[in-house]
């Protein structure tokens, strides 16, 4: 059976499966033998579990996500009672089969796409008020940078595989993934890798800086724009410094270094300003130490991380669910790869939500940041047309 038919067969079986972008294409994880729904009580057992490191099958891993609230709880940050859709705090799957695709995924549901109107949870006026409030916090020294989250929602019953295949063709991102389960789906074109661990080597790839693509803005011009823009440079430097600090907590002294500094990556509607940081882990570092040091990812929260999380959680009225959590896998040999869940659609109980955020620093402009949020959501909103 050709792989196109395998993909359709898996999708139509109604059984859960996961697709994750790989270096050569996409990996499909299926034949799920175990599903672990995480909560405040079992998260420590999950992260402290011991694996048989001698196993070498390509399905010797657990793949899934940590939600934002769970990651806050893990590092001792309280999330006040918020509007909540009771979506799971985290889920991991044990697959028994992995199928690799080395080209574009080919699937289409002709009945899937239909025009939908989205409602935003924070309008421009409300956003400006929150923006001004956080600007005062920055000036008083409580934070240096903070990300204001906005949500776009619509009632919709979608075909997640169709959406993901179209998204991967129009806006392919290095950390794209799809989770399809019985009562929910997550479709993501996340560009940002938070953790790649191979043996004792670990890297993180912070993104801070966004500019819209146009006929006047190519990749080289975007690089010049970022270099000359004081606000974008400050924001990027702060996030890089914070990620280096996070890595330094778990890495050997002197090993944390910038591997790539301030390069531009191109996406469907925008350009991003990106760096790559690497380090060598200390001898006795465990999975739970890595997760607690690196999550939630600082580039989508702000700086400094802990005080900024507290400010955000007091301000926000709705639970973030998956947004700014992390998706990825933990192999049985201890290696792991996790992204930051941004540029994603969570479809649950026939409602789709897209969450986005832009950074506020002392030089920021409220209108610009509000518009940047829409720019980040646009590639996903376009799927509903």
Instruction: Look up residue 217 and give its DSSP letter.
Output: B
Task: Determine phi and psi for 278, rounding to 5 degrees.
Answer: -130, 160
Q: How far is CA 323 from the centre of its chain?
A: 7
* Domains held by the chain: number: 1
For residue 315, CA distances in Å to 138, 319, 368 come to: 15, 11, 21
SS3 label, residue 124 = helix
Which H/E stretch holds residue 202?
A: strand 201-204
Q: Are 161 and 345 in contact (CB under 8 A)?
A: no
- Residue 221 neighbours by CB distance under 10 Å: 14
Instruction: Look up residue 281 and give its DSSP letter.
Output: B
Residues linked to residue 115 through DSSP beta bridges, in sequence order: none
- No. of helices (H) and no. of strands (E), the chain: 10, 18
Tell me how far apart the alpha carbons of residues 164 and 157 are, in angstroms, rounded to a whole number.
14
Say if strands 257-266 and 61-66 run parallel, antiparallel, or are unpaired.
Answer: unpaired
Q: Are 258 and 237 in contact (CB under 8 A)?
A: no
Sequential DSSP letters for 3-65: HHHHHHHHHHTT--EEEEE-SSSEEEEEEEEEEEE--TTTHHHHHH----TT---TT-EEEEE
Tell me how far apart the alpha carbons of residues 230 and 228 are, in angstroms, rounded to a whole number.
6
Question: Domain limits at 238?
Answer: 3-384
pLDDT reported for residue 106:
78
Our CA dihedral for 149, 264, 368, 139, rounded to 10 degrees, sits at 70
Q: Are 83 and 360 in contact (CB under 8 A)?
A: no
CA neighbor of 325 nearest in space, from 45, 39, 65: 65
Question: Which parts of the chain register pLDDT below 70?
Answer: 1-4, 52-55, 110-115
pTM for this prediction: 0.92
Q: What CATH number does residue 320 fall under?
A: 3.60.120.10
pLDDT reported for residue 43:
95
Say if strands 302-303 and 344-348 run parallel, antiparallel, or are unpaired.
Answer: unpaired
pLDDT reported for residue 215:
86
CA neighbor of 192 nearest in space, from 294, 58, 100: 294
pLDDT reported for residue 1:
46
The two tokens of residue 244 are 């280096």
């Amino acid at each position: 059976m050709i792989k196109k038919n395998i993909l359709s067969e898996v999708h139509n079986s109604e059984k859960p499966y996961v697709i994750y972008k790989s270096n050569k294409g996409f990996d499909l994880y299926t034949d799920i033998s175990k599903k672990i729904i995480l909560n405040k009580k079992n998260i420590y057992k999950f992260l402290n579990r011991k694996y048989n490191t001698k196993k070498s099958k390509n399905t010797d891993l657990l793949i899934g996500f940590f939600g934002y609230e769970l990651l806050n709880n893990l590092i001792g940050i309280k999330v006040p009672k918020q509007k909540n859709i009771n979506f799971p705090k985290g889920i991991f799957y044990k697959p028994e089969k992995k199928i690799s695709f080395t080209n574009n995924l080919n699937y289409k549901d002709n009945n899937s796409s239909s025009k939908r109107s989205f409602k935003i949870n924070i309008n421009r006026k409300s956003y400006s008020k929150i923006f001004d409030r956080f600007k005062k916090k920055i000036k008083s020294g409580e934070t240096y940078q903070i990300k204001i989250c906005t949500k776009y929602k619509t009632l919709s019953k979608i075909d997640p595989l169709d959406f993901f295949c179209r998204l991967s063709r129009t806006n392919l991102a290095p950390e794209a993934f799809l989770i399809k389960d019985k009562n929910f789906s997550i479709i993501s074109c996340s560009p940002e890798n938070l953790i790649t661990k191979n043996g004792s080597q670990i890297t993180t790839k912070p993104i801070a800086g966004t500019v819209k693509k146009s006929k006047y803005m190519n990749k080289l011009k975007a690089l010049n724009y970022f270099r000359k823009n004081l606000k974008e440079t400050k924001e990027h430097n702060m996030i890089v410094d914070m990620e280096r600090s996070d890595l330094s907590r778990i890495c050997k002294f002197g090993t944390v270094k910038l591997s790539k500094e301030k390069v531009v990556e191109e996406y469907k509607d925008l350009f991003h300003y990106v760096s790559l940081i690497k380090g060598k882990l200390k001898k006795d570092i465990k999975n739970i130490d890595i997760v607690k040091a690196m999550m939630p990812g600082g580039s989508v929260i702000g700086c400094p991380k802990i005080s900024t999380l507290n400010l955000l959680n007091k301000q926000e009225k709705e639970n973030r669910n998956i947004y700014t959590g992390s998706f990825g896998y933990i192999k049985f040999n201890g290696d792991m790869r996790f992204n930051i869940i941004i540029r994603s659609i969570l479809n649950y109980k026939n409602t789709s939500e897209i969450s986005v955020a832009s950074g506020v620093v002392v030089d920021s402009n409220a209108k610009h940041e509000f518009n940047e949020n829409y720019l980040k959501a646009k590639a996903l909103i376009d799927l509903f047309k």
